[in-house]
Structure 1
Amino acid sequence: MGTKGGIKEGLAKIQMPAGVFFNPHMQLCRDIFSLSIGALPEKKLSLCDCFAASGARGIRYKLENKNISKLSLVDWSLPAADACKKNIALNKLKNSRAYKSRMETFLAKRPSDFLEIDPFGTPAPYLHPAFASFSNAYSKSAYLSATATDTAVLCGAHSDACYKIYQCSPLNCEFCHENAIRILISKIARTAADFEYGISPLFSFSHRHYVKVLLRVQKGAAFAVSSIKTLGYVSYCPKCLYREWAKFPTKKTCACGTILLHSGPMWLGPLWEKGHVQKMLQLLPARPYLQQAQLQKILCTVESELSLPPFYYDAHALCKKLKIGAHSLEALQNSLAQKGFCFSRTHFLPTGFRTDAPIEEIKKALL
């Protein structure tokens, strides 16, 4: 940002005029979601990047994936729209255009199969025009990718803001970043249902200051109802770190006597589709321009954790509660495995893990 120079990222060459936003720290995000698009089964998709800025994300998506046949780069800023136009030409992209327009106005006239919503802050205000666009185009299926950078809101630091924006009660706890994604998906599912669409998460990711999801969108009352029925609440004890989840909270107090904290309504279903993640792993070796080692580690971790229960634990938080020194995750895994429990690290947190063991067994394994 603020330079007249240019960069090369992935397969794209991007010029960045002064005043046009570009975040170099989002390269990993662009890497992993470009790969995720490549794993989609469709052969021809029209894609609209609704907050394109320099156009880096959308241009990479099209350059790196043969299944993107048409690209629209949309931004309300004239300098950004001009930059997109120049970067399209610089990368010699065909069937690609830049537009100076508000997202809502553009989508009302020019629908796409795939909408990329990557605004500053929350994507919540833009979900209604996104699904209205799908509906107006009579789309039976589509894709939506949404980024939220208001993680302080989603993670419970500003509860009132979360009520207002997402109509959810957040939770400031050790698994708050998973909560954040589940609250975001809940908001998307409820907006989708207004237009008789259901959603299915294909890939979810949390890193640094943001959370991001890629969802399949399907038309039909049955899909919409199924999505809404997947919403529910997590109940959490801040004293003993017990947690449970259900359609509605069923307990007021924990077995230890502490009043439970409740968060929701949130998405309680899977955050990833196993076949989609495996396809991403298959495609990765053929893309040497990506951050191979880092992506391999992330995807292997996700593949391991996706089949285990939601709401990961933090080994450091547990050790602090038990007033013991830090415990290695490898030793904890071995102890739980000896008792027949499953275990996986999580991409959400370096000291985080998932297991089907109850909290009492986890504590025994740590002591």
Structure 2
Amino acid sequence: MEEEGDKKEFITASVGERCEVCPGLRVLEGLAASGLRSVRFALEIPGLKSITANDYSAKAAALIARNAQHNNVSHILQASQRDASMVMYEARGRKERYDVIDLDPYGSPSPFLDAAVQAVSEGGLLCITCTDMAVMAGNSGETCYSKYGSVSIKSKYCHEMALRIILHSLDQRAAVYQRYIEPLLSVSVDFYIRVFVRVKTGQVVVKNSASKQALLYNCVGCGAFHLQRMGKKMSQGKHMKYSAATGPPVGPSCEHCGQRHQLGGPIWAEPIHDITFVQKVLSAVSGNPTRFRTSKRIEGVLSMVTEELQDIPLYYVLDHLSSTVHCNTPSMLQFRSALLHAGYRVSLSHACKNAVKTDAPAEVLWDIIRGWVIDHHKLLKGLQACFEIREDANPQSRKQHLTRFQENPQANWGPKARAKAGGGISSELEDKRKQFQGKRKKPITDSSQLKSFPCKKFRKGTCTYGDKCCYSHELEQETEEKMA
């Protein structure tokens, strides 16, 4: 590093060279498997001091060492065979911390998050991948709470909620050590989610943590949702006053359909992207489109991220809004135009193809849907919707025909069965997975199979088919005999 007055010029090593003059970046891939990602780090990123590719498996560690030697990066990349948590816990000292920590486990990263937020340097980067989407998308809310400290619920916005759940968990664990997170990029793609966050230290900023989290009230009928912040802050001169939030923001039943509410969260309620950072990445990818084979897809996803409303958590799905009232679905341009004519902001979401992210309250959305149902005539109540197409309703990423949503490259695309201890995938587990795929969608073609199901009409005494009924009457009769 050379200093000339107030200017500082950092001398960085070129790709594949170890950086000795400048501080250099220390990178840890905690669950490296074959070490492919670490090898790419060494071959493609300049200014690296060292890369530690760790895996608990002895076979994986040996494979990492061979891959490093084969790609001539052994001087930068070191293979390690240890428990990932212990590697990070031993690097909690300020001089031992890593500048970048990448965690891409099979399933949930929750066992490693506590160590990760301590082992990353001041302003360092955490790259976290979650593949346990069944848990984070609402299938097992109790399991999600035990792992991430947040209850997931089944909803149309489950993919963005999953992003906000992992960000909540990271911020909560970092706050224990007077640290906080700054999300740079959070994406939901294919069958997993991945977040990139910067970790910093500051007791004053940590006090804002409660006001950054929110509980979620979701209507099980129409899907309307409301957020309730966990805390609130008010400025009093040079100081901030922190207090508990007041609530709830909804009544016992939904004001639109009368159904009950589900309670989920808490979730991260602040922006999940740093747009300045995303735009720099987008410019780098667009400026060198031949660098990555998936450049078009990267450009499409990042373009959509920059178009999202950053201060609006979650979204509605247009198909779900129309199916709730059993009407034809208006085009996305028409619905977006109606919201813009009404004076509200609206955007898409990279996490869902038909998402509507808007600052309009739910009652405005239902007013617009009612206006669509009665064929654009004046509404009996509420807002009069205008469906005339507006130019700004069509986002730039759509006009440019960017690859925004990836189609599955092959049949049965998605996470495979868990790998067996010796490596590879157990054929027995693979066969079992295929056997139960679509089990609820397979129709019964043989009517005789229906005899195993009891006749509901017979139970009510209204079945008129007698012995010709394709459903079983005997099971009901046996039950009555036992009760007698």
TM-score range, shorter chain: 0.7 to 0.9
Write the distance in 2 (CA, Å) between the matches of 1:246 and 1:298. Answer: 30
| In 2: Cα distance, 1:153 partner to 1:265 partner | 15
Question: Within 1, Cα distance between the matches of 2:299 and 2:23?
Answer: 25
Amino acid at match of 1:360: E
Of stretches 48-57 and 354-363 in structure 1, the one that deviates more from structure 2 is 354-363
For residue 208 of structure 2, give the secondary structure of its aligned residue in structure 1: helix
Q: Considering only CA atoms, is the larger Rg found in Structure 1 or Structure 2?
A: 2
The change in CA–CA distance for 1:84 and 1:222 in structure 2 (over 3 A counts) is: same
Percent identity over paired residues: 26
For residue 140 of structure 1, give the secondary structure of its aligned residue in structure 2.
strand
CA contact (8 A) 1:230 1:269 kept: yes
What do the CA deviations read for 1:251-310 (whole angstroms, capped 9, x no partner)?
343213322212111111110011111111111022523212211111111100043511
The amino acid of 2:32's aligned partner reads A
| Counterpart pick for 1:166 among 136, 148, 164 | 148
**3-state SS, counterpart of residue 138 of structure 2:** coil
Name the residue aligned to 1:220: 202
Q: Work out the CA distance in 1 between the residues paired with 2:208 and 2:289.
A: 36
Asked if structure 2 preserves the Cα contact closer than 8 Å seen for 1:199 and 1:227, the reply is: no
Q: Is the 8 A contact 1:74 1:98 kept in 2?
A: yes
- Determine if the alignment matches structure 1 residue 142 to structure 2 residue 128: no
Output the CA distance in 1 between the equivalents of 2:46 and 2:309. 28
Structure 1 stretches of 4+ with a deviation exceeding 6 A read none
Secondary structure of the residue aligned to 1:82 is helix
Distance in 2, matches of 1:187 and 1:358, equals 28
Amino acid at match of 1:267: W
Unaligned runs of 5+ in 2: 1-21, 92-96, 231-246, 373-484
Distance 1:276 1:354 in 2: 21
Q: Match of 1:51? A: 31
More displaced stretch, 48-57 vs 357-366: 357-366
What's the offset of the Cα at 1:60? 2.1
Residues 18-49 of structure 1, C-alpha deviation per residue, up to 9 Å, x if partnerless?
xxxxxxxxxxxxxxxxxxxxxxxx98321100
Distance 2:60 2:202 in 1: 37
Alignment of 1:1-367 (within 5 A): 44-93=24-73, 94-110=75-91, 111-134=97-120, 139-248=121-230, 250=248, 251=250, 252-256=252-256, 257-285=258-286, 286-290=288-292, 291-366=294-369, 367=372
In 2, Cα distance between the equivalents of 1:165 and 1:67?
Answer: 36
Q: Using a 3 Å threshold, how does the CA distance of structure 1 residues 292 and 263 change in structure 2: closer, same or farther?
A: same
What is the TM-score when the length of structure 1 is the normalising length? 0.82
What amino acid maps onto 1:165 in structure 2?
A: K
What code does the residue aligned with 1:326 have? T
Residues 348 and 357 in structure 2, CA contact (< 8 A), matched pair in contact too = yes
Q: Which amino acid aligns with 1:289?
A: R
Contact 1:308 1:355 in 2 (8 A): no
Residue pair 1:62, 1:69 contacting (<8 A) in 2 also = no
Does the 8 Å CA contact 1:47/1:72 hold for their aligned counterparts? yes
Calculate the TM-score normalised by the size of structure 2.
Answer: 0.63
Deviations 1:200-242 (A, max 9, x none): 1110011222111111100121232223431111211122222
Q: CA RMSD in A?
A: 1.9
Change (3 A) 1:159 1:48: same
User: In 2, are the aligned partners of 1:117 and 1:146 still within 8 Å (CA)?
Assistant: yes
**Contact residue 180 and residue 206 of structure 2 kept, 8 A:** yes
Change (3 A) 1:64 1:227: farther
Query: How far off is 1:333 after superposition?
Result: 1.5
Give the C-alpha shift of residue 67 in structure 1: 4.4
Distance 1:306 1:65 in 2: 31
- Name the structure, 1 or 2, with higher relative contact order (CA <8 Å, separation 6+): 1
2:124 is paired with a residue whose SS is: strand
Higher helix share: 1
Question: Structure 1: how far apart are the matches of 2:360 and 2:86?
Answer: 50
| Aligned 8 A contact 1:199 1:223 in 2 | no
| SS of corresponding position for 1:361 | helix
Give the partner amino acid of 2:284.
L
